[in-house]
Structure 1
Amino acid sequence: MDYKTLMFVHLWTVVPCFIIGTILLLIKKGTPIHKSFGRIYMILMLFTSIVTLFMPAEVGPRMLNHFGYIHSFSFLTLYTVPTAYIAIKKGNVKAHKRKMIILYFGALIIAGGFTFFPGRYLYNVFFG
């Protein structure tokens, strides 16, 4: 797939992640709706982070002529989602909560904020 297609696949999966993640932060924890939304959120987060690994960095320095600093959030996601899932399955609510908050703010808020920097697609959409 070309970069533009990957970018749109990423946008179509990460926007629902932002919406669902926000809902999950606001609703009561441990309820059936929380669990259902949580499963969808985790699957979408894993999928969208995998998609980003195929997108070469277009802004800033590159490692291995492909990965940029923003890819570190993809690796954060690929680590955090499974470990948060394992934590809740083991009954470790505190670890699950901490990991999911880190995931939301790291992978969605901070990484999402970087997508509005000059030279990136969303910057051009909103400010270009």
Structure 2
Amino acid sequence: MNLEPLTNTSIAIQLHVVAAVLAFVLGLLQIFLRKGTALHKTAGWVWIWMMAAVALSSFFIHTIQLVGPWSPIHLLSVYTLIMLWWGVRQGQRGRLREHGITMASLFVFALVGAGAFTLLPGRMMHTVVFG
């Protein structure tokens, strides 16, 4: 592991990475926690805020510029923010199946899926993780 590329980059990228790692760990925890408990709800709210931080910080990252300063990944950030709101709304309305599907989908696709692409050769996180 080589943290130098991460420490030598912008604050937005550093925040993005830290929030993503915390969201990943909390997301894994949520899978194993008993649903509906105070711990599940508290960890869930922290996860939501970490995911929001990941999505919002992405708007300050312009490494890949396909349309002005934006790239298709920014659409995923908009989608993530909308689905976070939707997932919370479903939970508050007692639609627990829909809540679970929404949050699990965000974990798998927006966090794990998108995160996997950051580990491709030539990307900064590839250097951080694999040296």
* Gap regions ≥5 residues in structure 1: none
1:125 and 2:128 equivalent?
A: yes
The amino acid of 1:73's aligned partner reads L
TM-aligned CA deviation for residue 115 of structure 1: 0.5
1:21 and 1:126 map into 2 onto residues whose CA distance is: 20
**1:5-64 CA-partner distances (Å, limit 9, x unpaired):** 211111111111000011001111111100000011101111221011111133xx612x
1:93 and 1:122 map into 2 onto residues whose CA distance is: 35
Alignment root-mean-square deviation, CA: 1.5
Percentage of matched positions with identical amino acids: 27
Q: How many residue pairs were aligned? A: 123
TM-aligned CA deviation for residue 85 of structure 1: 0.3
SS of 2:47's partner is helix
Q: Which residue of 2 aligns with 1:28?
A: 34
TM-score normalised by structure 1 residue count: 0.88
Alignment of 1:1-128 (within 5 A): 4-58=10-64, 62-63=66-67, 65-127=68-130
2:115 and 2:102 map into 1 onto residues whose CA distance is: 18
2:129 and 2:100 map into 1 onto residues whose CA distance is: 33
TM-score normalised by structure 2 residue count: 0.86
**1:62-119 CA-partner distances (Å, limit 9, x unpaired):** 12x2222322321221111100000010111111011001100011110000111233
2:39 and 2:98 map into 1 onto residues whose CA distance is: 20
Flag the structure with more relative contact order, 1 or 2, with Cα contacts below 8 A and sequence separation at least 6: 2
2:121 and 2:66 map into 1 onto residues whose CA distance is: 17
